[in-house]
Amino acid sequence: MATTTLNKSNIFFEPDSFSNLNSYLKKNKFSKIFILVDNNTFADCYPILAESCPLLHTAEIIEVESGEQNKTLNTCSEIWEGLSEINADKNSLLINLGGGVITDLGGFIASIYKRGISFIHIPTTLLAMADASIGGKCGVDLGNIKNQLGTITQADAVFIYTPFLGTLDTRHLKNGMAEVVKMALIADKKLITDLHNGKKQLEEIITKSVALKTAIVKKDPFDKGIRKTLNFGHTIGHAIEGSLLATKNELLHGEAIAIGMIIESFIALDKKLISKSDLTIIINLIKPNYELLKFNKSQYKSILELIQHDKKNKNTIIRMSLLKGLGSCIFDQEVSLVQIEKAFVNYTTLIES
């Protein structure tokens, strides 16, 4: 499969990802190599990686506990101190082997340490392969505000090794698929049909999603304009995710975004940006695959509060990226609290129907 170039970043696909990784490691003579893993990727993915890349046998492993609740400044701080203690220099490489939490966290750690060292992503989940590892956004949460601190720094390269998907359960596959659904809804009408028919293979879906995202990021790397369309479903989705973080109802990112996309589509309908039949197609694509949670009063209050922290807001006015028809999206759309509340009511009616 071909190589996609995004600014200085190279994205490599199967069947050549590890041979490209070996060439990359040979070409760049890093003084030290570190691999950031979580407990799952250390057990399931690291052995495969190490076997395929002899140059990584002497790399140092940095292990963090899996899960969004560890995507914090505290985790970074501990790792920065660790890197300092063993005198990791500016010519070091950080390899991020994991899902979206690891690529977000590791990209941020590398982009700040000594004002920036090289890093590459080896995504191990569908979410990270199809979305999170692409485009340079990295960062950590602050309390329950998602990605409140971060930078936009492109990885040196991304190596997508799809056999890692074999280590995932259905829940985590669906988690990643939510971002693919988003990509289709905002940018590719034909992909909506393909996803609905369920005929495309995972590899094809990943390649398509990466191509769609890359095209958008190339046009607007620093998130000033069209890149904001990638945030469809995320104003409300992030707030849902944040409000349930570290509770017994905690959702995976994609699960929260799935709900966010439905509620934001109700808003788009209300603003006459999409038709009723568009909405039906969206709901039919999402509802059968995701658990649509009902929120209690205190959760709902916390969600509304978090929506007001969203990065796209300006002068306390809430702004969202909303679908305009299927396969198309517009950004910086002002949305009132009344419109949001109405959409939540419609969502509740939908899940109770």
Counting beta carbons within 10 angstroms of the beta carbon of residue 298, is it exposed (0 to 12), middle (13 to 18) or buried (19 or more)? exposed
Among 100, 106, 135, 150, binds a second copy (CB under 8 A): 150
**Closest separation in Å from C-beta 243 to a second copy:** 15
Nearer to a second copy, 17 or 111 (CB): 111
Strand 145-152 versus strand 118-123 pairing type: unpaired
**Distances in whole angstroms, Cα of residue 177 to Cα of each of 8, 163, 181, 247, 321:** 27, 16, 6, 24, 19
The Cα–Cα gap between 32 and 47 comes to 19
- The region of 108-116, 160-168, 232-240, 257-265 touching a second copy under the rule CB under 8 A is 108-116
Nearer to a second copy, 313 or 348 (CB): 313
- The region of 44-52, 137-145, 210-218, 249-257 touching a second copy under the rule CB under 8 A is 137-145
Residue 144, SS3 per DSSP: coil
**Closest separation in Å from C-beta 181 to a second copy:** 24
- The region of 75-83, 119-127, 196-204, 248-256 touching a second copy under the rule CB under 8 A is 75-83
Q: Is 142 in the site for a second copy (CB under 8 A)?
A: yes
Nearest to 223 by CA among 212, 213, 237, 211: 213
Helices 189-197 and 202-219: angle between axes, nearest 10 degrees: 160
Site for a second copy in 298-317 (CB under 8 A): 308-309, 311-316
37 in Cβ contact with 97 (< 8 Å): yes
Q: Is 77 in the site for a second copy (CB under 8 A)?
A: yes
The Cα–Cα gap between 253 and 238 comes to 8
Tokens standing for residue 148: 């409140």
Nearer to a second copy, 114 or 287 (CB): 114
**Closest separation in Å from C-beta 136 to a second copy:** 10
For binding to a second copy (CB under 8 A), which residues are involved? 29, 31, 73, 77, 80-81, 84, 87, 89-91, 111-116, 137, 139, 142-143, 145, 147-152, 222-223, 308-309, 311-316
